[in-house]
Amino acid sequence: MHSATLKEKVSLLSMALATEARRPLTFMEVCGTHTMAIARHGIKSLLPENVSIVSGPGCPVCVTSAGDIERAISLGDTPGVIVATFGDMIKVPGEERTLGSAANVKVIYSPLDALELARSTPDKQVVLLGIGFETTAPLMAAAILQAHREGLSNFTVLSMHKVVPPALQLLLSDPTSRLSGFILPGHVSAITGRIYYDFLKDSRVSSVVAGFEPLDIMESLYLLVKACMAGDSRPINNYPRIVREEGNPKAMGTMFQVFEPCDASWRGIGTIPASGLAIRSEYKDFDAVRRFDLAEREVPEPAGCLCGAILMGKALPDQCRHFGKTCTPSFPVGPCMVSTEGTCAAWFKYNL
Ligand code: SF4
């Protein structure tokens, strides 16, 4: 008996989805990894004309404010300080320059590398940049707890972490939004669980936690279409091989042991209440903001850059006058072209 190939399954889902979608539907992929997966697998070409996908504010590098990048640059230029960061961050433009141009910046692959750097350079202050959502925040929290246990006095974290729900709420509060549903992030949800999104039950949109393979995404889109047609706003878990209902309570516990909610500035979007994670006062010795008395910085976005609108699903990269001309991955103007998960980078790489 013939069992369907992957291509045949995707094709069947594409046809089923087209049959179900009886009105125009716009979905948002919230997470940058989905942005890249959707582009790489050509998912948009498999959708009927009345179903579209836009990107959302889930690329960690893209939503890090230019003011926060300026604070990181100033730390990198401070004598006796080493800034430890994941590689994506060093090319993101601040006001006039990138973090990579600062004097003392070291690319690391894990928060543990930053701890080791602090142990091996006791005469330097090591500042780890805390970037990312609920996926990476528990790792940063664990690094702070380890530094606390060891009494490491030359290790701090500049927390620029963000959490997903307030951004979704902001999107839903926009009366002009035409969003019909969210493709919820797979990695974040592995930590938070599906129940984290139960607040969406009372919203006007449908939502589904999705994996990253073509079949995962097509199945999730099919489920989204069905839920929209049925007016069902209960968040669906279509990634149960990785995501549990309750997520990873230990990781969430570690995260909230060290961090507490705070208002946070999102690049191109502005301040979203309770959308950031600040280091609790119990761990203030590991907070770079307090150690170095870092002030908030307001930095204007590059002229003409539409990253803010793109991150809110209100513009597409080719609507930006810089796209592919004065802004390319080699010479990026805005963060959405820098990050490997950025929408502009995806459009450029996959010729969308
Ligand atoms: S193409 Fe460049 S300048 Fe335009 S929105 Fe994207 S990142 Fe910003």
How many domains are contained in the chain? Answer: 1
Q: What spacing in Å lies between the alpha carbon of 325 and ligand 1's midpoint?
A: 10
| Any domain includes 106 | yes
Ligand 1 touching residue 337 (CB < 6 A): yes
> What percent of the chain has pLDDT above 90?
82
Asked if residue 257 is part of any domain, the answer here is: yes
- Residue 84, in any domain of the structure: yes
72 CB within 6 A, ligand 1? no
Question: 92, 267, 318, 320: which to mutate for ligand 1, most atoms within 8 A of CB?
Answer: 320
Phi, psi of 142 (to 5 degrees): -65, -35
> CA–CA separation, 137 vs 304, rounded Å?
32
> Which residue's CA is the nearest one to ligand 1's atom 6?
344
Residue-wise pLDDT for 278-318, tens only, equals: 999 999 999 999 999 998 888 888 899 999 999 999 999 99
* Pocket lining: 311 vs ligand 1, CB cutoff 6 Å: no
- Domain enclosing residue 287, as ranges: 61-163+247-291
What residue owns the CA closest to ligand 1's atom 1? 323
Q: Nearest to residue 54, comparing CAs of 301, 313, 334? A: 313
216-241 tens-digit pLDDT: 999 999 999 999 999 999 999 999 99
Does residue 303 lie in a domain region? no
Q: Which atom of ligand 1 is nearest to the CA of 320?
A: 4
**Mean pLDDT score of the chain:** 94
Confidence (pTM): 0.93
What's the DSSP call for residue 302?
Answer: P
pLDDT for 1 equals 54
Q: Which of 54, 59, 301, 307 to mutate to test the pocket of ligand 1 (most atoms within 8 A of CB)?
A: 307
- What phi and psi, each to the nearest 5 degrees, are found at residue 3? -100, 140
Give me the sheet containing 51-55, strands edge to edge.
51-55, 25-29, 181-184, 206-209, 236-237
Q: Which helix H or strand E contains 54, and what residues bound it?
A: strand 51-55
**Backbone angle region of 97, left / alpha / beta, with phi > 0 → left and psi within -120 to 50 → alpha:** beta
Which one-letter amino acid corresponds to residue 168? L
Do residues 222 and 13 lie in contact, with contact meaning Cβ atoms separated by under 8 Å?
yes
- Give the model's pLDDT for residue 2: 66
Cβ of 316 closer than 6 Å to ligand 1, yes or no, is no
Question: Which CATH number do you get for residue 103?
Answer: 3.40.50.11740
CA 315 to ligand 1: nearest atom: 5
Atom of ligand 1 nearest to the CA of 310: 5
pLDDT beneath 70, residues of the chain:
1-2
Centroid of chain to Cα 195:
19
- Other CB atoms within 10 A of residue 338 CB: 25
Q: Is the CB of residue 126 less than 8 Å from the CB of residue 156?
A: yes
Residue 79 in any domain: the answer is: yes
The answer to whether 346 touches 336, Cβ cutoff 8 Å, is: no
Does the residue 146 lie in any domain?
Answer: yes
Best CA proximity match to 127, nearest among 149, 144, 151: 144
Is 14 inside any structural domain? no
HSE toward the beta carbon, residue 246, CA cutoff 13 A: 3
Residue type (1 letter), 215? L
Nearby residues of 25 by Cβ (< 8 Å), 6 or more positions away: 50, 51, 52, 180, 181, 224, 225, 228
Nearest residue (CA) to ligand 1, atom 7: 334
Query: Does residue 96 sit within a domain?
Result: yes
